[in-house]
Amino acid sequence: MNTSEAPPARQALVVIGNGMAGMRTVEELHKLAPDLYDITVFGAEPHGNYNRILLSPVLAGEKSMDDIMLNTREWYVQHGITLHAGDPVEHIDRKKRIVRARSGLEVRYDRLLIATGSKPFIIPVPGHQLRGVLAFRDIQDVETMLAMARNHRHAVVIGGGLLGLEAANGLQRQGMSVTVVHVGDALMNQQLDKPAALLLQKALEAKGLQFLMNAHTAEITGTDRVTGVRFKDGTEIPADLVVMTAGVRPNIELAKAAGLHCDRAIVVDDTLQTYDPRIYAVGECVQHRSATFGLVAPIWDQARVCGAHLAGAGVRRYVQQTSPTRLKVTGVDLYSVGDFIGGEGSEDLVLRDARRGVYKRLVLKDNRVTGAVLYGDVKDGPWYFGLIQNRTDISAIRQNLLFGEALSARAA
């Protein structure tokens, strides 16, 4: 029996970013090689790892903070991971292979994983730095909004995309009078075609939300804190709270400063490796084959590939796939995936039942589904998603395709 031999010195893995992408990668790594690294995680937020996607239900009062925690501090301890929450990394020294945090703490790495995510885009209109102008990104934002909702009346959400509508819904659920301001004429134009967007707008209006479409914000008014929003046409509405949900930008300053090759985001290859072979990156801060990411499904895929490569068992390649979108507003069922706009050479299947609040559209090309927008009845969304991913020839089931999986099976 030989126990005297010391364990071999382990390699050091430093993770910048305590978010969903970074920690999912660590979990994937752990599944394959739990003892390979000494792992140190730096996070800007003073929390364990939580599910950012679920901030909307928290804001809406449907879930608590406890509900959305993914990895508590105990989990880090149990897994022998060193966590520095609330201490963001400010410098990477690639030559020395050292990172330095705001606190001055320096940690050496053999492998570095950058998962800094993205930053909300704050439209630089006059007044954007007033108190009461927020983004909707983290627990801090949610807590601020919840606090404001307790004693303020008027909320304005700028940006009628997925995040904006979830924020508006949450604030409205917290008792505020909410106006959504959107530059286009259709909500969620990244995910919905116009008929679905109109149905959605009607449904949300029925819930009490107000909409200003084709509205261009000129200024956020107020002296110390926000009091209103003024538009280019001169009209103005009162606001105690302005939430900016006009998109996100990959958070790449640190990587750039370290001299990593970046374009719109940190450029990675199919193994999620950056141009520095010791440094990997995952999540919303990466650019893979000219695409950037905002949804969770591709990030889970990245985490799986990256984890495998960090574990040294890396034969996997990351392949981009379409991912579906849903809106987390209770009572609104919405599912969108793929190329739902179509165009030359594509075909449409459309079903409308306005009274029941159902709209479905499939886009076909060469007898294959390439996109789907489902509103009101989304239960077949994953099935269509599967048809898209598998490039299934649907000629034989076309007749009942839009009526769902069960009926298509019956007809075939």
Among 105, 291, 354, 412, binds another protein (CB under 8 A): 354
Of the candidate residues 379, 390, 396, 412, the single one contacting another protein (CB under 8 A):
379
Cβ(245)–Cβ(137) under 8 Å?
A: no
Determine which residue in the list 248, 297, 311, 341 makes contact with another protein, applying CB under 8 A: 297
User: Any contact of residue 128 with another protein (CB under 8 A)?
Assistant: no
CB of 166 to another protein, least distance (A): 11
Q: Could you tell me which stretch among 7-15, 133-141, 279-287, 381-389 binds another protein (CB under 8 A)?
A: 381-389
Please report where in the chains the tokens 């019956």 appear, as a residue: 410
Q: How many angstroms separate the CA atoms of 304 and 78, rounded?
A: 22
Q: Is 355 a binder of another protein (CB under 8 A)?
A: yes
Distance CA 247, CA 358 (A): 28
Binding flag, residue 106, another protein (CB under 8 A): no
Part in contact with another protein (CB under 8 A); list of ranges 75-83, 276-284, 313-321, 347-355: 347-355
Subset of 60-89 contacting another protein (CB under 8 A): 63, 67-68, 70
Site for another protein in 36-55 (CB under 8 A): 51, 53-54
335 binds another protein (CB under 8 A): yes
* 34 vs 16: CA distance, rounded Å: 19
Residues touching another protein, count (CB under 8 A): 39
Q: How far is the CB of 201 from another protein (least distance, A)?
A: 16
Does 121 help bind another protein (rule: CB under 8 A)?
Answer: no
Q: Does 380 bind another protein (CB under 8 A)?
A: yes
Nearer CB in complex with another protein: 184/404: 404
Contacting residue, 65, 98, 122, 296, with another protein by CB under 8 A: 296
192 interacts with another protein by CB under 8 A = no
Give Cβ neighbours of residue 23 (< 8 Å, ≥ 6 apart).
Answer: 15, 41, 49, 70, 71
CA distance 43 to 19: 8
Environment class of 290 (CB within 10 Å of its CB; exposed 0-12, middle 13-18, buried 19+)? exposed
In whole angstroms, give the CA distance from residue 274 to residue 278: 8
Strand ranges, E, within 284-390: 286-288, 325-326, 334-338, 347-353, 358-365, 368-375
Among residues 352, 351, 365, the alpha carbon closest in space to that of 402 is found at: 351
The vertex-216 CA angle with 215 and 220, nearest 5°, equals: 110
The residues that touch another protein, with contacts defined as CB under 8 A, are 51, 53-54, 57, 63, 67-68, 70, 296-297, 300, 324, 326, 328, 333, 335, 347-356, 378-383, 398-400, 402-403, 406-407
